[in-house]
Amino acid sequence: MVQNKSTFKAFRVEEKDGNYISSIKDMEFKPLAKNEILIKVHNSSLNYKDALSATGNKGVTRNYPHTPGIDAAGIIEKSNSESLQVGDKVIVTSYDLGMNTDGGFAEYIQVPSEWAVKLPEKMTMKEAMIFGTAGLTAGMSVLRLTELIKPEDGKIAVSGATGGVGALSVSILSKLGYHVVAITGKEMERDYLINLGAKEIVLRNEFEELDKKPLLNPMFVGAIDTVGGAILENIIKSLAPIGVVTCCGNVASPKLDLTVFPFILRGITLIGIDSQNYPMNYRTKVWGRLAHDWKPELLNDSCNEIKLEDIQDKIELMLQGKLKGRTILKLIEL
């Protein structure tokens, strides 16, 4: 198992005279620090945050040269950890991976052992990367919501329903028997959302324009919000008494223009989801559920595989909004 090479290949982004240039580079291995592990990466995935990192977005990555890739799955080849051993299959997502720590667009990653989750049985490394950070975030949102709301309680709203987190949330919730109302700005994706399991479709512009009263007629008992802003405001105001909403995104706006009335008069609960630093006990539980009863039946049909040298072309397509589905990086032939 232990690698005996002196170098490995990585998709490297360098800053030169204000421009960001990417290429495949040979990288040298570094000594392992205490509690670090060296992972032979089998699969990674392309995310929007990776595309930003690869094009010099300093809000994602401060220093260059850098290797993007916020998701990785592979096998441990060296370990200075007591909890993880050589040969263990692991998943690494979020924390600082691919942001200011070299990420999964490489044949090897070297990370603190506490960042790694053992790959569950009945889940392949490719499947783990189809889920990736988006799947983990969706799973955390579903887990926290279902702790308090049951299918028989009523309707569940999911905003940003065609996005990575939203689509997986719709799929998982419907599989668990919930009546899902998908909120989307993409009317042409109605059939796609119905196929995922949504029972009703609400267009985003209609939902954003609801009455500005501090409380609205109850429409849902729970919700998973991925966009923030006016959508989250109206979801909160539209929840039935003791309703629950999780929030994990702010693409619409990070601000909320609300009174405390939904929280005091209806007992609403707002749960924030931070997949980047979420506690390990929740991570382990979520990955276990994604491997079993939460796994979509056609999961492997929702992706296309690429090699290391294909990444730059896919990044450009992603930034142009022309990339559909999940793009999985395959780094080793099994």
- The topology (CATH level 3) of 133-272 is Rossmann fold (3.40.50)
Cβ 330 vs Cβ 305: under 8 Å: yes
The pLDDT value given to residue 285: 94
Cβ 162 vs Cβ 192: under 8 Å: yes
**Separation of alpha carbons 243 and 266, rounded Å:** 8
The pLDDT value given to residue 334: 47
Candidate from 32-41, 172-181, 297-306 with smallest mean pLDDT: 297-306
- How many CA atoms does the CB half-sphere of 169 hold within 13 Å? 35
Q: Is the pLDDT of residue 183 over 70?
A: yes
User: What confidence tier does 296 reach under pLDDT thresholds 50, 70, 90?
Assistant: confident
Candidate from 117-126, 197-206, 282-291, 296-305 with smallest mean pLDDT: 296-305
Domain ranges within the chain, ordered by starting residue: 7-123+295-330, 133-272
* pTM of the complete model: 0.88
**Separation of alpha carbons 10 and 67, rounded Å:** 7
Q: Is the pLDDT of residue 323 over 80?
A: no
CATH-assigned architecture of domain 7-123+295-330: Alpha-Beta Complex (3.90)
Q: Is the pLDDT of residue 174 over 60?
A: yes
Would you put residue 183 in left (φ > 0), alpha (ψ -120 to 50) or beta? beta
Q: Is the pLDDT of residue 1 over 60?
A: no
Q: Is the pLDDT of residue 333 over 70?
A: no
The pLDDT value given to residue 4: 66
User: What confidence tier does 155 reach under pLDDT thresholds 50, 70, 90?
Assistant: very high
Q: Is the pLDDT of residue 253 over 80?
A: yes
The pLDDT value given to residue 302: 66
